[in-house]
Amino acid sequence: MAATVTPVTPPEGGPALPGEALTRRAVIVATASIVAMTFAFSLGNVTRLCLNLGITAWIAWLVAPAVDLSVIGLLTGMRFLSLHGYTDTQLARLQRMLRFCGLLTMALNTAGAVGHRQYGTALVRRPARDSRSPGARKRRRGLPSSRPACSPGRGN
């Protein structure tokens, strides 16, 4: 004797299911937390990469947010357009742009580790500082580094 479960759906415009509001809030909070942590991770990695490549500090801090905000804008825009009747064919160019931004984000976040031939760390943690980098040479000589005191690469 098998029991069958019938899904419970509230009538249109009727009261919500028990626990629905809590579940929605939990999903939104978890998603927002993941987005914030990913944004911070990307900001640290890409800024460190730009500084290691000799890019001016005030420009280095702008590279990661530009790419990350492009992804957020594309996702939001595609959702809005799909809710207003646009077809997948009409959204194809936006989907290609979103894939490109995703690949660009991954490339920027892993370039430092791959450049130091630390392939395993490219996926899970920041690369170890190269003792031959200009900042490491300055620290050995007792000179102040060109990085700010609270930069992500300092461990502060």
pLDDT tens per residue across span 49-64: 888 888 888 888 888 8
Q: Would the pTM of this model clear 0.75, i.e. be above it?
A: no
Greater model confidence, 41 or 33: 33
Listed by start position, the domains of the chain span: 25-124
Give the mean model confidence (pLDDT) for residues 65-84.
89
Greater model confidence, 118 or 150: 118
Q: What is the chain's mean pLDDT, rounded?
A: 75
Q: E strands of 1-45, at which residues?
A: none
